[in-house]
Amino acid sequence: MGTSTRSAPGRSGPELPRATIDRRLKPPLFLLNLKCYPAALGPRADAIARSLASVGREYGVSVGLVPSLPDLGRIAATHRLPILAPHCDPQPPGASTGFTIPEALVAAGALGSLVNHSEHRLPPSRMVPTVERLRSAGLVTVLCTRDAAESSRWARLSPPYLAVEPPDLIGGSRSVSTARPGLIRATVEAVHRVSPTVKVLCGAGIHTRRDVTIALELGSQGILVASAVATAPDPRAAMVELARGF
């Protein structure tokens, strides 16, 4: 990684040398997935990244951002927060046109990747090589699951983070914290029986500080959110509302 101190576009002050940026994702974690929402692409993704970094500092919350793949490299190079990819493929370097491989993520400045998100599910045969390839490249895996049973199954891979998100609640008005609190507790217990070091995140329908607080009280070590911020009329206000729940 370089150690340039050039000022990034739209930001005041020098860019931190890459070596001095804290590249860890520390629980409790506020992880924001921008997906491919039109309001969170291109320059709008940069604005959200600036706001997220600012809110994290202001409220003392560990934050991370998952931008769309076309925005990832630019945002990783110009913003002071951990950046993850929305997906990764286990293909080897070289003749792998159209795939997103760990080496490309490292070169782009990413910290890690989501794996098996409900909108980009992997067949079981690809789960193990994907997680292993990310690990060998020194990248963080945030492995997404649907329920406690699936979480328990994949906890044996010991990903640093596992995010449980019931598909029917993703993008909706009901949060898993209030609609299915038992799922969070059951997932945490099931995962830790298999691999105590895995940190469980709570996703799906997280909108308010109360949703966040309940999720943490039930044993999760952070949240994975998307539409509550990415489609909000005022994304920064939405971030502040969630950050206050920590």
Active-site annotation, residues: 117, 165
Element housing 224 (H / E): strand 222-225
3-state helix, strand, coil in the chain (%, to 5): 45, 15, 40
8 Å CB contact between 115 and 89: no
| Site of tokens 């690990």 | 135
Q: How many CB atoms lie within 10 A of CB 59?
A: 16
8 Å CB contact between 166 and 118: no
8 Å CB contact between 45 and 77: no
Omega of the bond leading into 28 within 30 degrees of 0 (cis): yes
Question: Measuring CA to CA, which residue among 86, 91, 61, 184 is closest to residue 142?
Answer: 86
